[in-house]
Structure 1
Amino acid sequence: MGKKMNENTLSLPPHYNIERTIDLAQDKHLNVLIQSCFVLITGILIGLALWTGLPLSSTLNPFLSFFITVVLVLVYMALHETMHAVFIKIFSRSRPAYRIRFPFLSVGSEAYFNRRSFIIIALAPVTIWGAALISLLALVPNPLFLSVYILMIVNFAGSAGDYIQAYIALTSPADTLFQDNGKATALFTPEGNKKDSGIRDP
């Protein structure tokens, strides 16, 4: 039997054509959306901390606190991409490809994912690490609270690009296939089936 349409696959099904390619790093319109989302989420989380009286100061030496925070952020960035890779592996059963553009690490795949899988891959890191960091805030010693809270902000605000990816997928036709090679995302649809995602190219 042939492949079912719209399942995760390593080869593009017959009669599927590329509809568009999205490069979050080059698309000025999407960059504005990502930056706006980052600023909004950061502002909300800082405002929440001030409103609830969370300890946004540390008894640690400022240099040490800064060093710890930077190290945690770098480790988190690697773990964030690793989580993408884990779900890419689960859904495609193929090895993800890592790209290093210092200080950034990205992960991609040549596989084609259906809408549901692509959304899960996009949102898994912010969801899983977000839950872990919120739990950690209740356990971490007070001197490290600020560093972990900043890390939580990085998790939720820094995942703005993932939110955009998920939104594009959610508003695409149900039979769309997605391929993200770590640099750009390509959308493929069956012949004669196109729908505006609501986010336009510049």
Structure 2
Amino acid sequence: MKQRVGDLEVATADTDKDGVMDSLDQEPNSSPTGVAVDSHGRVIDKNGNGVPDELESYFDKKYGEAKPGSNNNTTNVSNNELIKNLINEGYVTTYFDYNKSTPTNVSTEGIDFILTYLRNNPTASVDIIGHADELGKSAYNENLSNKRANAVKAILMKAKIDASRLNVVAGGEDASVAKESAGARKLVRRVTFRVK
């Protein structure tokens, strides 16, 4: 009975918490948390621009939908500009476990987001900025942050993004969180991006 219950728990697991079981999910671990998906776990993106419709709708409401020919840049910002700002302000992130330079399985959606952006904007380039927490020696953490950024670069290059569009930056230690907080330190073991 325990084995059957265990098998049932595995079969009904929903790793990315999108409401679709992993066994039926066609985009496991790739959708941003909380964004609506269809019955196959795919992010809803009717216009095919790489941005979930739910997020796009939020930006349109918050900043005003871009209107062709409009000169009012304060409220009517293009979707592309909003996405660029979202990336540059650190909302698109890939996380790493302690002392590791391989992204965690549940955080690769940040890489997917950048990949989609770069494919949709073939003249854009991006800084890939690695970070580490404050535990350990600064020189080691500088090297670890560089390894993390290079790992993300390698993934993007495997996806056919030219290396000339990818610039690695070693951000070193991030001292913006309490060093004694294990939970806070998880948030700074990351790679962020800056679109140019």
Query: Which TM-score band (shorter chain)?
Result: under 0.3
Which has more helix, going by share of residues?
Answer: 1
Q: Which one has more relative contact order, counting CA pairs under 8 Å at least 6 apart?
A: 1
TM-score by length of 1: 0.27
